[in-house]
Amino acid sequence: MNDDRLIQVTDLKKYYNNGEIRALDGVTTTIGRGEVVAIIGPSGSGKSTFLRSLNLLERPSAGKILFEGVDITSPKTDINKLRQKMGMVFQHFNLFPHMTVLDNMTLGPRKLLGMSKEDAEAKAMDLLAKVALQDRAGAYPNQLSGGQKQRIAIVRALCMSPDVLLFDEPTSALDPEMVGEVLDVMKQLASEGMTMAVVTHEMGFAREVASRVIFMAEGKIITDGAPDEIFNDPSNDRLRTFLAKVL
């Protein structure tokens, strides 16, 4: 299958307590290659659950997710293999504190992609240079600032040469003065054509960088469109209420 639909989600559901809580209640959408999709919505709307379902960190209760044409929810699929192509960046960075920055970045390529130490380190250093952190290669995560940690987390994911990057509120745990440096890296990636799905509270980022904005509430996609439509002319009541609160 060689089309530009990278991820196709069909009627995705995630229930807790036997359906009492419906975190995802029938989500259907498609993410194309090169798209930057911002997912916004009030807390508890299911946007993080949706994102985490895409690489099966959450196992959906029902529905189908195709990644590059392969059904990842099927028991026959080797999810570990597919996750190598889906980078993930977390709110709390989740760098490995017992390893240096360089080891954090080369662990995956060396153990999973079979790269030699030299090749993996060369690639890691290139990526570190891209986020202007090459001088911190030997540092441990706890010696870094929050913004630096998140930039390292992004390049750690990039070391695996993923086809898509999933961001789960990447700037929510940062001090305000560090948000910019992380968003700049994400902007740069977007301009290079990286496919990205970003759960975010940064409306500025969603408006400027995203090619598409999905607004979720109560486990459903309420509206889905270009940033201009979403922000300039919110037709939906719930979207309008939400934007009035966050903008």
Partner 1 sequence: MICCFDMPAWLSEWLAGIGDEFILNFVKDDRYMYIVKGLGLTLEVTFFAVLLGIALGIICAIVRSTYDKISVEMRPGFGKAVLSFLNAVTNLYLTVIRGTPVVVQLMIAYFVIFASSKNKVLVAILAFGINSGAYVAEIIRSGIMSIDQGQFEAGRSLGFNYVQTMIYIIIPQAFKNVLPALANEFIVLLKETSVSGYIGLEDMTKGGDIIRSRTYSAFMPLLAVAAIYLVIVMFFSKMVSLLERRLRNSER
Residues that bind partner 1 (CB under 8 A): 55, 57, 59, 75, 80-84, 86-88, 90, 92, 94-99, 107-108, 111-112, 140-143, 156-157, 160
Rounded Cα gap, residues 166 and 54, in angstroms: 8
CB of 70 or CB of 243, closer to partner 1: 70
Cβ 117 vs Cβ 72: under 8 Å:
no
User: Would you give the DSSP letter of residue 65?
Assistant: E
CB of 5 or CB of 85, closer to partner 1: 85
Minimum CB separation of residue 98 from partner 1 in Å reads 5
Q: Which of 68, 62, 64, 53 is nearest to 5 (CA)?
A: 68
Minimum CB separation of residue 157 from partner 1 in Å reads 8
Minimum CB separation of residue 9 from partner 1 in Å reads 18
Rounded Cα gap, residues 86 and 106, in angstroms: 16
Minimum CB separation of residue 40 from partner 1 in Å reads 22
CB of 43 or CB of 80, closer to partner 1: 80
Residues in the chain, how many? 247
b (16+ CB within 10 A) / e for 4-40: eebbbbbebbbbeeeeeebbbbebebebeeebbbbbb
CB of 164 or CB of 213, closer to partner 1: 164
Give the N- to C-terminal CA distance of the chain in Å, as an integer: 41
Rounded Cα gap, residues 207 and 228, in angstroms: 7
CB of 160 or CB of 222, closer to partner 1: 160
Minimum CB separation of residue 140 from partner 1 in Å reads 4
Minimum CB separation of residue 229 from partner 1 in Å reads 32
CB of 28 or CB of 91, closer to partner 1: 91
